[in-house]
Each structure stands twice: as structure tokens, then as C-alpha cells.
Amino acid sequence: MAMIVSAGDATELDLPGRVSREIVSGARGSSAVTLRWVEIPVESDGGPGRGHHSHPDCEECIHVLSGAGLFCTEEGERPLRPGDTVLVPPGERHHTRNVGREPLELLCFFPVAELGAGECGGRR
């Protein structure tokens, strides 16, 4: 049976440098999907930056809902705007920065039910 998850039912995660809410995952009954809504705040002068991370065992698909950002890898940076989607291959070190004047809102999809330690790089 199909499941509907209301915005208020998403689980807030304690992840550095962003607000992240897990909408769907194995904890909610999914057998193969994790979906998160992420908001990266406007950067402040001297604020702590987020470092690269990776997901060694799975892809990540990032869709930009609103705001302006940069997708950063060890090879360089690419601009992001609403409607853009990034497909990150397994193991690629990356992070996303807000370079705009409003929060950067993203949907992040992983093709696994759980992002626990050892599976898809952990909760980073």
C-alpha cells in the first residue's frame, strides 16, 4: 500500500552545516529508498565551511528546489540553480555550498533504504 509522509512527520537529522529531514528511509518502511529534504543556510563571513564527504557504496542524486549554490568536488566547482539535478557517482568526494542570499533547498535521493555506517558512507 502506498504511504504518504507529511512534512511534519519527517525525521530531523543532526548533520553539520545544514538542516536535514529524512522523509523516507528503511526506518519508515522503505526497502530500497532514502529521500531527504536539505536546507543549507546563507553563508556568513568566517562561518564554518562544510568539508567534502563521499558515499562509497551508492550514488546520490541531488535536486535543487530553490536558491543558488555550488557543487564542489576535488576537481572543481559547478554552479547550481533551481531545477538542476546532480548525479554523484559512488565514492566521489563532494559537498554543496550556498552562494546566494536565501537558503539553498535540495532534495537528496539515495538508492538504499539505510545510510548507516558501512552502507553508502554513513550519515554525513
pLDDT tens, position by position, 100-112:
999 999 999 999 9
Q: Would the pLDDT of 46 be above 60?
A: no
Is 43 domain-assigned?
A: yes
Confidence of residue 123 (pLDDT cuts 50, 70, 90): very low
Domain count, the chain: 1
Copy the grid coordinates of residue 10: 519527517
Is 77 domain-assigned?
A: yes
The mean predicted confidence, pLDDT, of the chain is: 88
Query: Quick one: average pLDDT of 77-92?
Result: 97
Residue ranges making up the domain that contains 21: 11-110
pLDDT in tens, 2-44: 989 998 899 999 888 889 999 999 998 899 999 999 999 998 7
Is 50 domain-assigned?
A: yes
Is 119 domain-assigned?
A: no
